Amino acid sequence: MPVRSFDPKHQKTPFGSIVRIERSVRWQRCFHQRHIPTHIPEGMLWTVLWEQSLALCYLQTGINASRFASEGKPIRRRREGWEAILHRDVKPANIFLTTRDQENQYPTTVLGDFGCSVMVRDRVSSVMTAWTKPFAAPEEPRYTEMSDVYSLALSVHCMAIVRDMPDERREVRKANPAPGYSCVLNDLLARCLSTRPGDRPDVGYLPYLVLRE
């Protein structure tokens, strides 16, 4: 598992979260900085979706899905002895920016702030209202293994519309989660935003789908 994919020690990077990107773009729009793009490049959205899908997969399975996805193989098992973890508070403010490595055009992101996280076996007895409500999946207060996938898709949706919070109209954001971006990205996000948890790709399948697209 690449250490960069998540930060279990809750340490915020000096570069802030992806909210910083959203606010920067909004500022550029406000002051009509025409020489600077007023949207977040689609490549950055795919980067966040890829890296955070790896993080969620690792939390629940204990397996680095990167190599398997590159070989066209979804993850269908959990590492022996691994205690699956649900993050339960995936949102732009908890996806932090790090430095850009030499191989990538965009900054690397890590998933942080595990204050709401629980082991899957403990989820029934845990306090279920701890997450950030606008990013909660429709099945709340019942939290499933698919709920983090929904919250991740909402986070990418926020990047696409350059807002801190998702569109409150659930059907509108599912029909067009990334306005102005490719149909491929919109279709994948729409799947992740399905109302029924069983209609969403699971965390073992999501990295494969992202890399395939």
- In the chain, where the domains are located: 3-211
Cβ neighbours around 35 below 10 Å, total: 5
> Which one is the CATH code of 3-211: 1.20.1050.10, 3.30.70.2740, 1.10.510.10, 2.40.50.140?
1.10.510.10
pLDDT digits (tens, 9 = 90+) for 195-212: 999 999 999 999 999 998
* H-type alpha helices, the chain: 19-30, 42-61, 65-70, 147-161, 170-175, 183-192, 206-212
Q: Are 92 and 159 in contact (CB under 8 A)?
A: yes
pLDDT of residue 107: 85
The C-alpha angle with vertex 140 and arms to 139 and 141, in degrees rounded to 5, equals 130
- Burial status of residue 168 (CB atoms within 10 A of its CB: 0-12, 13-18, 19 or more): exposed
The Cα 149–Cα 210 span in angstroms is 12
pTM of the model: 0.85
pLDDT of residue 102: 65
SS3 of residue 130 by DSSP: coil
Residue 211 corresponds to which tokens in the numbers above?
């890399």
Residue 108 corresponds to which tokens in the numbers above?
């690397």
Residue stretches of the chain with pLDDT short of 70:
1-15, 21-38, 100-102, 122-130
Among 19, 22, 24, 47, residue whose Cα is nearest residue 107 = 47
pLDDT of residue 1: 37
